[in-house]
Structure 1
Amino acid sequence: MTSAGELAKQCKVKTNSVKRLHKELGYYEKERDKEQARVDKMKAEGAEASDIKQAENVLQESAMMIPQTRQRLEAALAELQSFVTENEEDIKETEELQLAKETLTEIEKLFK
């Protein structure tokens, strides 16, 4: 059997993983939006076709990271959810459990 302290530590690690992936997803979405604006501006200003193509490639790379990161976030979220469900009794009234629940509530809103 795992101690409450060890469970709390695992809970903290899983919570931080969800938070990190959420931040990463936000970064990629901002990056995609920034690159899209850059491509749109270049097209509006009549930039060289090769420059536009290069900017579109950068945009595509940024956009490709979003679904992958979202999948990893969904997996980490599911893992945290099941961890909390399985171990809630053993770590109730810990700061780690409270933080995990707050994180779950906050991030799950994004997927609805």
Structure 2
Amino acid sequence: MSSAEIVRNMKIKTSTLKRIHKEYVYYQKETEKEQTRVESMKAAGADPHDLRQAETVLAESAMMVPDTRQRLEAALSDLKSFVADNAQDAADTEELAAAKEAVAEVEGIFS
């Protein structure tokens, strides 16, 4: 693989990791927001049908968190191994720096 192809692939893998990280954070926040909404509806004595609908939305949001976490872990592993294998060929490029920064940021979530 040429140096240009390595840099291109690194850029793609970094973008993928960042996108999935963004989704993961979004789903976590949405789950928290929906949980708060369900709790406030229960406290206010909301209509049972409306409460069931809100609980369904909460369940769907909560269901996405583990799936997204799994995809995030896979993307992190993929980028880490790609960087380890090709760091010499992409040395001193901004793509390598961005990849290492993205890896460090996502690893912070799992530690």
**Aligned: 1:76 with 2:69:** no
Q: How does 1:1-112 map to 2 (within 5 A)?
A: 2-112=1-111
TM-score by length of 2: 0.98
Unaligned runs of 5+ in 1: none
Question: How many residues align structurally?
Answer: 111
Q: What's the CA shift string for 1:4-52, capped at 9, x where partnerless? A: 0110000000000000000000111111111111101100000111211
- 2: CA distance, partners of 1:23 / 1:104: 13
Q: State, as a whole percentage, how many aligned pairs show the same letter.
A: 55
Unaligned runs of 5+ in 2: none
Amino acid in the other structure paired with 2:95: E
3-state SS in 1 of match to 2:46: coil
- 1: CA distance, partners of 2:33 / 2:101: 30
3-state SS in 1 of match to 2:78: helix
- 2: CA distance, partners of 1:32 / 1:51: 17
TM-score by length of 1: 0.97
3-state SS in 2 of match to 1:90: coil
